[in-house]
Amino acid sequence: MDRTARIQRVVEIQRMTHAGVQQRRLRRRQADAAQQDAAFRQPAPARDDREEFVDPRGAAAAEHAAKGVENVAAGGFDGACRQIRVAGAANVPGQRPGGVVGHCLLPPVPMLHYDAQAVADGRTTVMLRLYYAPGTCALATHIALEEAGAPYEAVLVDFRSQGQRSPEYLAINPKGRVPALVTENGTLTETPALLCFVAQLFPQAELAPFADPFAFARVQEFNSYLCSTVHVAHAHRMRGARWADDAAAIEAMKRKVPSNATECYALIEHKLLKGPWVMGERYTICDPYLFTLASWIEGDGVDTAKLPRVMEHRRRMLARPAVQKAVSAEGARIP
């Protein structure tokens, strides 16, 4: 065997070993996912208002399982070489199957495999599942999933019947809130975390500047502000009972919403929103989040005439196909 042949043989052995490890990891993850899937696909109680919790794909999935159709997954993160490949070109326009579509500059993350074509064909149930209620903060993640071309399904949680507090939903998200994102590795909550997860999982969509620690910290800074301050200021309008039992105190908190929200949006208008997108020239995961929370400001009693840049950002967002798709899928009303 000459030197070239020997090198080729070594490379081939390494490739096969790597593939074997990947296969075993994949099977383990699929078993975990199937277990979790089975738990929340339990039939809903015989109550009409709980029907939203019956996963529409449940029947199809059960049918596939009965036929022994295996989940097919062949793309995703390659933790070792820190590259991201796609199995099918379906969610990455212009990319050939198996092509490297991006580089993950962060430490290797657990492998996650999604085959958009297999999902589309119904050969697999391996996908992301977003629990949402229309027009809530879950819209931000919904938009990000659309922007990323992610294989996902959106499952409605019916707030009118207090679905977020039903035992079925609490089994998925014990916080009793939306959004919740069910992944192969477990269920994630908290919008900034979900947005970051989507951006990292689909790096080809370039939804966050992962390569630049400072720029990425700015993204986190902005989204943390929306989550911990802006959203909370808004929540005092309808969810005052979280903080007080006394009716007068709840009313007092409600009265404070317009001034608190106005203060938050003045800061965004004058200091934080760089334009045209939140972080400047590049669209990031800050944009769907701002868009979502800013769709509440009229209801919060904020004078939108004083926020021309925030309003322009909202219009700019509405022109994006991904935003239109998520908004119309939810039937969300954007003023």
Ligand X SMILES: N[C@@H](CCC(=O)N[C@@H](CS)C(=O)NCC(=O)O)C(=O)O
Alpha carbon distance 189, 182 (integer Å): 9
Q: How far is the CB of 26 from ligand X (least distance, A)?
A: 30
Closest distance of CB 191 from ligand X, Å: 3
Angle at 76 between CA 221 and CA 173, to 5 degrees: 55
- The smaller minimum CB distance to ligand X, of residues 26 and 332, is found at 332
Distance CA 257, CA 14 (A): 61
Tokens 């990947």, located at residue:
22
C-beta of 194 vs 307, nearer to ligand X:
194
User: Using an 8 Å Cβ cutoff, are 49 and 158 in contact?
Assistant: yes
H helical segments located in 79-166: 116-121, 138-148
DSSP character at residue 52: G
DSSP structural state of residue 128: E
Q: Which is nearer to ligand X, 40 or 169 (CB)?
A: 169
Smallest separation (angstroms) from ligand X to the CB of 158: 11
Which of residues 2 and 245 has its CB atom nearest to ligand X in the complex?
245
* Residue 129 structure tokens: 């599942």
Q: Give the closest residue to 85 by CA, choosing from 70, 99, 69, 66.
A: 99
The conformational region for residue 132 under phi > 0 = left, psi -120 to 50 = alpha, else beta, is beta
Q: Kindly tell me which of 23 and 224 has the beta carbon lying closer to ligand X.
A: 224
Binding site for ligand X (CB under 6 A): 136-137, 164, 176-179, 190-191, 227, 231, 239
When the beta carbons of 82 and 231 are compared against ligand X, the nearer one is 231
Closest CB 265 distance from ligand X, rounded Å: 17
Closer to ligand X at the Cβ: 79 or 176? 176
Bridge pairing between strands 76-78 and 83-85: antiparallel
Query: What DSSP state is assigned to residue 209?
Result: -
| Beta carbon of residue 326, minimum distance to ligand X (angstroms, whole number) | 15
Residue, CB closest to ligand X: 177
Q: Bridge-partner residues for 188, per DSSP? A: 181
The nearest distance, CB 225 to ligand X, in angstroms, is 12
Query: What is the distance in angstroms between the CA of the first residue and the CA of the last residue of the chain?
Result: 72
Task: Select 86 or 199, whichever has its Cβ closest to ligand X.
Answer: 199
Contact criterion met (CB below 8 Å) for 332 and 139: yes
Least distance in angstroms from the C-beta of 5 to ligand X: 56
User: The tokens 């900034």 sit on which residue?
Assistant: 192
Element (H, E) at 153: strand 152-156
Minimum CB separation of residue 209 from ligand X in Å reads: 21
